[in-house]
Structure 1
Amino acid sequence: MTRLSSDSAPEPFTRDVHENVITDLARISSQNYASELDLHVDLSRTLKRLNDGHCVYVNDCFDSTFLTFIPTPLVLLTESSGQQNVHIAPEAFQVATAAFGDEISFWQDSLTGKLKGHLASLSGAKVLKINGQDPFVAVNSNAAITGSFEGLGTRQNSFFASYQRTSTAWNYVFGNFAQQSLPLIDQVILKIQRVNSSAIDTVVIAARCFHEEFYRWPVLSREQLRGRQWNEWGRPLCEYLRGAAAVQALSPDRPLAKFQQQPRVNPADARAHPIDVLLDDRPLPDAVLPPTLQPPGIALPGSSSVAQFFLLPDNVTGVFALGSFSDASLDRFMQNMLTGLQNMKAAGVTQLIVDVTNNGGGFICAAHWLHRIIVGPKPSSVPQAGLDTKARAGPLAQLIVKAIVAGADPDSLLMYNPDQWRFASNTPFPDEFDWLAHPVRSVINGVPDAFSLRFVATTFRLCCKRRRLGQECQPFGISPPQEALFDPKKVAIVSNGRCASSCSLFSITMAKEEGAKTVVIGGKQGVQQEYCGTVGGQSTDFSTIDTEIKASDLLSSEGSLTAYPFQDVLMITSQSTKLKNNTLAPPDFVTNSVQGITWRLAFGVENTQQPEEWQDHPADVNLPLTPEM
């Protein structure tokens, strides 16, 4: 596709997404910074302005090493009159006390005047001003730098508190107001009206920093971190962390996994099965959703980890709460989903609610499996239940494939190996198929680009579909049922809009192909609520692809990978395309960082010639979040 501006996205996101990364990288390269932190913040926010949660830049020296909290998470509530106001969450003190323990006394004592020691009285208060401005000035300022989603409404929603089903519990998500990945603020000033009070109070709430490695709260200011000094230990921050780099490189809990949607995937499964997942520099805190906000009743048999099943009192409506498409084992995850849904059907459930709130993706095949078992075997689910895709086919990628075809990867371990891929017809690529040859040429924002798909005007559609990439999931490792479990028109997919990657692939195919209803809870009136975003087709990261190019070269030239701590050691073999010294090869990436990459794009359902990434996904229903809810 060709875009009209040098830095704009296509409709409907032209107004919301406008970032020219090439220009900004040139700007960053040409200027000096007072500290490493200032450089990191500029680089991080530059990539986040793409609003693609696959492509963010995260650095283990800074992101999430210190987490900054404010004990008053906010919510946007709609009154029965329809009026909307920002409030301190009614459950704020309960959640903060559970999460921060004795540290809550710091905030209690830091309040002044009649409010000293009465932090609990702030819960539920209406917020009139944040730092002297209308609350939505702060909301929209955060939406401009938070990244991850194209839609403005979804980025606004990330400012507020929400929840997520994790592998072990129902977790409270503080929202971007109350939790930040860096100590970029020291305090916030709120003008509030407390519950059952006509008085207007102005409160100053200090921000507190938590250090994740030592599980403690140091006295830390922004200036101390910018100087890369820990107040208590007096050692440069990044220098200290790099000392453990070699150990971290050999751990399955490497930074890529740290920043991916939780729970963490077994490395062997992550390598064997394609993944489409957000990278997040704000991991979930250890804060359990208050019991009064958790689903009532006992989870049904089949419930496990992020997949939980419940029966509503009408005995015909089931709720499938799915916090992630990631899990430790793909096969076990798929079996749990099937067992839970079959149990609900056996119990008489005919209406299904799938709650994907804050689901940032995971296994692509898990998303396609869920689609397939709900709707049964039909043209939209067999031979593939997902979307056709295309891959970037730049000059270096073409050289990688040519090297593999010439014998560089005899064991078929590399991502670019044709043995890994299929046509959209579910037919495997032929052996030694140079699948990036003859790419389609495009111009995007004035920059030439190329993709794996080639259309030939005189060919029939079937031929064209054969030139697209299909999914690599079917046949599944588990046999799916031969009939639909539910009528897809009686399925509702519910979230706060924060459903991405594999979650988007599932939601889009169910909504656009099967007629499932979509519901977004909360959000600002007058702002379109998208039921999902950040689609992709498969995501990866710089180190994974870079290692495929250079692996054996690095071993032979360096003797070890200690200088490259975040290369995936599971992939270090004698095989490599040996393009390290090629002029097109990127430089070595030697920081404690992860750069995400959208490796494949999925074609749209309604506009089949363009990526689904940039097509509209308005929710069928926008359900206001009320005080009672």
Structure 2
Amino acid sequence: MAFALRSIIALGGLHFALSNPIQTPKDPCAVIGGQTWVSPKDVRACYTSVRLDPIIKANILEVITKTLAFHASLNYQIQAPPPYNDDVQEDLMTDLARINATDYALEYDFHLALSRATKRLNDGHAVWVNACYVSMFVNFIPLPLNLLPDDRGNQDVHIAHEAFEVVSAEFPDQIDFWQDALPGNFRGQLESLSGAKVLAINGRPPFDEVNANAAISGGYQALGTRQNAFFSSYRRLSEGWTYLLGDFAQKSLPLDDQVELTVIRVNRTSPETITVPYRSRIGPTATPFNDTASWRSGNCVAKPGTNGRNIYAPGEPPPETSSVESFEQQPAIGQASKMHAVHVMLHDTPLSTVLLPEHLQPTLTPLPGSYGAAQFHMLDNKTGIIVLGSLSDKSYDNFMSGLYHGLLSLKSAGGTQLLIDVTNNGGGFVCATSYLHRIIAGPKSTTEPQALLDKRIRVGPLAKELGRVFSAGGDPAMLMLFNPLRLSGADSQPLKNGTNWLDPSFDVIVNGRPDSFSQVLSKECPLGNYPYPFPPPDEALFDTKKVVIIGNGKCASACSLFLVTMGKHEGVRNVVVGGKKDVKQQYCGAVGGQASHFTAKLKNHPLAPPDLLVDGVQGIVWRLGIGIDNPGEPEEWQDHLADLNLPLTRELVNNPLAIWKEVTRRMLN
């Protein structure tokens, strides 16, 4: 049987029988079983009712440790260089050894330790997710927040003006609970909190809470981006415009029961202090359960999509979905399109389905080529808009065709300048970034043969074995990413059949640790016959000096590859919207080089991770992109400073059309 690693990786088996619930008079999981809404306290009571089985602990740690042998950033993250030297300082292997030596009575406490350790990498590709706990129930409070300036330009935290409208639409079955839970004269007055200025959260200045969350949220190297995630924002997905509640109003674990807020309501002058409860709603990917036994059997053990499979084994079709796909920050990809390389973030909550209020949704007419998360509009008679909520969708061919026809539509409509909105774009198809860049900028040295970063992969002992297997023809159908026939060297020429491209590898010292990386690899996408429905035009469609990219810093993976190459090669300007004005705003993060799925015929190798016994996902970055400004270091750790940090105002916040008009006024007209 083939051994399957996932660089957004999921490996597993079956071990429900060894779970050992603590004996209590009443099953605490039965209290929340079959319920849609419950209290966080009751969820924690269920989660903390299961003792940690030493076999489960050993299995998870072995899988994570052996998987991380492929994580290309591991030693760099011990101490990241400037400008991230204060943000990333995590020696994960030392932490895993500490966790291994710690005696955890409860499985939930063990999970928290692993989750916090991997999140300290501040790398959304390399998190540990256990579906038994993560987003099984999601914690909500009906008060999404914004960061808005006052008349003197000082930024203050506010409850979103649209808060009541949003939560009434999303949580109609819970609004009465929150209305009745408000104290005293506030009872039934939840709507009156919308727009209120927040003076304190749990008795502390609001940004103390923002920064406390940024310290544990993970995902992005830059502090500014993690701060921005605390607040509400928008995103375009296949189904339409969605509203992200932010880390304050939505949490993936039942960590908080309530929050105390000191506020000044709109048209009031006196501070008022209230306490508002969090509520936990069962997650969309959870398997319904009635008690501890059914919770564990339905949600905590490995599933057919958890572990790797032998893609050459007859009669072993792929599962409809894998565990990892539930947490990838991109729309679901159809089975026929999964062969294409992806570079995408993991997150411990599924994609938001909360709708952006209709009055905040852009009213511009979509142009031909608009498809799913990629939409094309004309803002005025010369300004084209590309909305990229993701760089992927169900169909690779349809998505790529949409990019081509959408850009031609903008040009045909008279577009001579371009705004690209990548707010909350978590990545997608790697080749989409090169294609989009090439169509916009035209044929030149920075786009031909492809507009992508060169890269190297980390080479450990098991990786060397993979090189040997594939150089000997171990993948005749060319389905696996380690196959040299799918790769090109530094000269952009395809590697020859039989090439062991990992021999020799090149030894380096990173943060005092010995490490080893492969030769330089070049292009990602096949040349000659482009892997696109249409070859790109023979000339540039737009002057890149008249292209501006907009986001909130939460652009990662394939999205980062696009922004970095457009910014550093083509001089495209980048705007971060809504960041704290005294904090440097990076326009993207978690660049990596590729986080994708790969398979190898070394299932029984002693260095190969075993099957996971739980339904878990451990992410890694398979390879690192080589820096543009400093080719001696990965692009991951180099500066991506925004050209403009645009403060949000009452008129701009969560209003894409208003933001596009303001950025056009400031940057293009």
TM bucket normalised to smaller: 0.7 to 0.9
> Where does residue 362 of structure 2 map in the other structure?
295
Residues 516-556 of structure 1: CA distance to partner in whole angstroms, max 9, x if unpaired?
1100001112100000011011103xxx55xx34xxxxxxx
Residues 428-448 of structure 1: CA distance to partner in whole angstroms, max 9, x if unpaired?
110000100011111122221
> Where does residue 101 of structure 1 map in the other structure?
172
1:601 aligns with 2:624: yes
> Where does residue 405 of structure 1 map in the other structure?
471
Residues 149-205 of structure 1: CA distance to partner in whole angstroms, max 9, x if unpaired?
111000100000001001011000000000011111111111111010012111111
Give secondary structure in 1 for the equivalent of 2:179. Answer: helix
Is the CA contact (8 Å cut-off) linking 2:302 and 2:612 kept in structure 1?
no
1:60 aligns with 2:60: no
> Where does residue 501 of structure 1 map in the other structure?
557
Structure 1 residues 606 and 627: alpha-carbon distance in aligned structure 2, compared to 1, 3 A threshold = same
1:125-524 to 2 correspondences below 5 Å: 125-213=196-284, 233=291, 235=293, 237-242=295-300, 245-246=303-304, 251-270=319-338, 272-312=339-379, 314-453=380-519, 467-474=520-527, 475-477=530-532, 478-524=534-580
TM-score (norm 2): 0.82
Q: Write the distance in 2 (CA, Å) between the matches of 1:246 and 1:356.
A: 34
Give secondary structure in 1 for the equivalent of 2:117. Answer: helix
Q: Write the distance in 1 (CA, Å) between the matches of 2:627 and 2:336.
A: 31
Structure 1 residues 247 and 420: alpha-carbon distance in aligned structure 2, compared to 1, 3 A threshold = closer
Q: Write the distance in 2 (CA, Å) between the matches of 1:177 and 1:311.
A: 35
Code of the aligned partner of 1:126: K
Shift of 1:498: 0.4
Shift of 1:472: 2.3
Q: Write the distance in 1 (CA, Å) between the matches of 2:76 and 2:474.
A: 41
Residues 94-125 of structure 1: CA distance to partner in whole angstroms, max 9, x if unpaired?
00001111211110110011110010000000
Gapped runs of 5+ residues in structure 2? Answer: 1-71, 308-317, 653-669
Shift of 1:65: 1.5
Q: Write the distance in 1 (CA, Å) between the matches of 2:75 and 2:322.
A: 40
Q: Write the distance in 2 (CA, Å) between the matches of 1:34 and 1:169.
A: 45
Q: Write the distance in 1 (CA, Å) between the matches of 2:626 and 2:557.
A: 14
Residues 66-121 of structure 1: CA distance to partner in whole angstroms, max 9, x if unpaired?
11111101111123421110000110000000111121111011001111001000
1:588 aligns with one of 605, 608, 611: 611
Q: Write the distance in 2 (CA, Å) between the matches of 1:408 and 1:332.
A: 32
Is the CA contact (8 Å cut-off) linking 1:383 and 1:425 kept in structure 2?
no
Q: Count the aligned residue pairs.
A: 568
Q: Write the distance in 1 (CA, Å) between the matches of 2:75 and 2:400.
A: 43
Q: Write the distance in 1 (CA, Å) between the matches of 2:168 and 2:473.
A: 60
Structure 1 residues 6 and 325: alpha-carbon distance in aligned structure 2, compared to 1, 3 A threshold = closer
Deviates more, 1:414-423 or 1:127-136: 414-423
Shift of 1:243: 6.8
Q: Write the distance in 1 (CA, Å) between the matches of 2:91 and 2:132.
A: 26
Give secondary structure in 2 for the equivalent of 1:101. Answer: coil
CA RMSD of aligned residues (A): 2.2
> Where does residue 533 of structure 1 map in the other structure?
589
Is the CA contact (8 Å cut-off) linking 1:424 and 1:471 kept in structure 2?
no
Q: Write the distance in 1 (CA, Å) between the matches of 2:442 and 2:646.
A: 29
Q: Determine which structure has greater relative contact order: mean sequence separation of CA pairs < 8 Å that are 6+ residues apart, divided by chain length.
A: 2
> Where does residue 555 of structure 1 map in the other structure?
none
Structure 1 residues 93 and 37: alpha-carbon distance in aligned structure 2, compared to 1, 3 A threshold = same
Residues 261-288 of structure 1: CA distance to partner in whole angstroms, max 9, x if unpaired?
2211123322x21111000112233211
Q: Write the distance in 1 (CA, Å) between the matches of 2:76 and 2:506.
A: 21
Shift of 1:7: 2.8
Is the CA contact (8 Å cut-off) linking 2:75 and 2:91 kept in structure 1?
no
> Where does residue 457 of structure 1 map in the other structure?
none
Shift of 1:426: 2.7
Code of the aligned partner of 1:476: P
Q: Write the distance in 2 (CA, Å) between the matches of 1:46 and 1:6.
A: 12
Give secondary structure in 2 for the equivalent of 1:276. Answer: strand
Q: Write the distance in 1 (CA, Å) between the matches of 2:77 and 2:220.
A: 20
Q: Write the distance in 2 (CA, Å) between the matches of 1:285 and 1:11.
A: 33
Is the CA contact (8 Å cut-off) linking 2:302 and 2:613 kept in structure 1?
no
> Where does residue 16 of structure 1 map in the other structure?
87
Is the CA contact (8 Å cut-off) linking 1:388 and 1:469 kept in structure 2?
yes
Shift of 1:254: 1.8
> Where does residue 636 of structure 2 map in the other structure?
613
Q: Write the distance in 1 (CA, Å) between the matches of 2:348 and 2:336.
A: 24
Is the CA contact (8 Å cut-off) linking 2:578 and 2:646 kept in structure 1?
yes
Structure 1 residues 535 and 236: alpha-carbon distance in aligned structure 2, compared to 1, 3 A threshold = same
Moved segments of 4+, more than 6 Å = 1-6
Is the CA contact (8 Å cut-off) linking 1:365 and 1:473 kept in structure 2?
no
Structure 1 residues 244 and 276: alpha-carbon distance in aligned structure 2, compared to 1, 3 A threshold = closer
Shift of 1:248: 7.6
Residues 473-510 of structure 1: CA distance to partner in whole angstroms, max 9, x if unpaired?
44333211111111111000000010011001001111
Q: Write the distance in 2 (CA, Å) between the matches of 1:212 and 1:147.
A: 21
Q: Write the distance in 1 (CA, Å) between the matches of 2:211 and 2:243.
A: 22
Deviates more, 1:259-268 or 1:184-193: 259-268
Q: Write the distance in 2 (CA, Å) between the matches of 1:295 and 1:537.
A: 33
Q: Write the distance in 2 (CA, Å) between the matches of 1:302 and 1:353.
A: 16
Q: Write the distance in 1 (CA, Å) between the matches of 2:647 and 2:118.
A: 32
